[in-house]
């Protein structure tokens, strides 16, 4: 006498067997998703760390002695210290192009409109005042950043 088939079965698997297989697969999928999320989270954390440690740079536009300057202030984001202030080169106010000094810094000229400027335009006194102004602007925007006294 043959045994009657189990009331609920599929290809010889009982319902509880199918549930067990299903749960097993679900667990595998969840573990795989968790692993992927973990990798993603680590990558995001690394990216955030990189962004935090990258120096902050900001360019300003300053008008001084009839020319334009575009000084760049660089600061460390972590320690909030101003690392460097580069005054840059003078630019023609009318054309906004960098001035050149073919006569070895005795005279500065605009290649576009031909305006000429005295060589003392880039004296240390002038570049210092441009840098000071840039620092002031920078600190207005980032009050927690300070410049180390050198």
Q: What residues make contact with Zn ion under the rule CB under 5 A?
A: 92, 94-95, 110, 112-113, 115
CB of 58 to Zn ion, least distance (A): 25
C-alpha distance from residue 73 to each of 32, 45, 56, 136, 142 (Å): 46, 27, 8, 10, 11
Which residue, 75 or 99, has its beta carbon nearer to Zn ion?
Answer: 99
Which residue, 81 or 107, has its beta carbon nearer to Zn ion?
Answer: 107
Which residue, 92 or 130, has its beta carbon nearer to Zn ion?
Answer: 92
Q: Is 145 left (phi over 0), alpha (psi -120 to 50) or beta?
A: beta
Which residue, 15 or 94, has its beta carbon nearer to Zn ion?
Answer: 94
Which residue, 90 or 131, has its beta carbon nearer to Zn ion?
Answer: 90
Q: HSE-up of 60 (CA within 13 Å, CB side)?
A: 22
| Buried-state track 40-73, b at ≥16 Cβ within 10 A, e below 16 | eeeeeeeeeeeeeeeebeeebebebbebbbbbeb
CB of 144 to Zn ion, least distance (A): 38
CB of 116 to Zn ion, least distance (A): 10
CB of 89 to Zn ion, least distance (A): 13
CB of 70 to Zn ion, least distance (A): 15
Which tokens is 38 given? Answer: 């973990």
């Amino acid at each position: 006498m043959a045994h009657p088939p189990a009331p609920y079965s599929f290809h010889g698997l009982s319902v509880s067997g199918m549930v067990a297989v299903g749960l097993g697969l679900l667990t595998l999928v969840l573990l795989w998703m968790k692993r992927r999320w973990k990798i993603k989270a680590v990558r995001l954390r690394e990216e955030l760390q990189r962004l935090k440690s990258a120096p902050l740079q900001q360019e300003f536009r300053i008008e001084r002695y009839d020319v334009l300057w575009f000084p760049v202030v660089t600061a460390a984001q972590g320690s909030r210290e101003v690392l460097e202030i580069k005054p840059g080169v003078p630019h023609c106010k009318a054309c906004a192009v960098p001035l050149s000094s073919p006569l070895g810094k005795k005279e500065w000229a605009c290649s576009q409109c031909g305006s000429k400027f005295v060589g003392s335009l880039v004296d240390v006194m002038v570049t210092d005042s441009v840098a000071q102004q840039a620092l002031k602007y920078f600190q207005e925007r980032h009050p927690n950043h300070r410049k180390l006294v050198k």
